Structure 1
Amino acid sequence: MVKNGLISPYWPTQWVDKQRWYPDGINMAISYPALPMTAAFLYDIISALGVHIELMSFCALFPPIMGMLACLIIYFLGKDIGGKPVGLLAALFLALDPSYIQ
């Protein structure tokens, strides 16, 4: 997406991952498209600001940073709704949620 643009999984040919859902594969254009688009967009912004980081390193660091930010947002949201204990429990539950960790 960084090299060919944000619509590259959709055009000119679709990206099909043959390693999953044997024998037909899975159309990667409809499989969580927001994550790689967001990573490519933020990588372009960081590169334009002059920070030199490899794309693979950025993609490895992107999910944990977004998870940390999500836990902070959930903490402050829970704190506003029910106080500090609710915020801490909400952030803890999100951090330990198996479906979110994957």
Structure 2
Amino acid sequence: MVAVLFITFIVCLGLGVPVAFSLGLSSLVYFIGNDMSLYMFAQRFFAGLNSFTLLCIPGFVFAGSLMNQGGITERLIGFCNKIVGHITGGLAI
């Protein structure tokens, strides 16, 4: 049955459906194919959203946007470049 999940996902992507909707549609087909209740689908969907890791992502994106708008990122990169810029691949390290 897992093959149906992946095949549905690939077909949806091939038809041009956005990734988020392809994931939702393929998981819905999986739940219906296994004769599971749609209540369980809703419960697992919202349980997956209750993750501290996923809740941190918007905060990091917002902080990066604030740093970029304020010009802090350019100064931070310049500072780091002065410290390790003489080393080959210094900023990457």
TM-score, normalized by length of structure 1? 0.31
Identify, as 1 or 2, the structure richer in helix. Answer: 2
Query: Bigger radius of gyration, 1 or 2?
Result: 2
TM-score, normalized by length of structure 2? 0.33
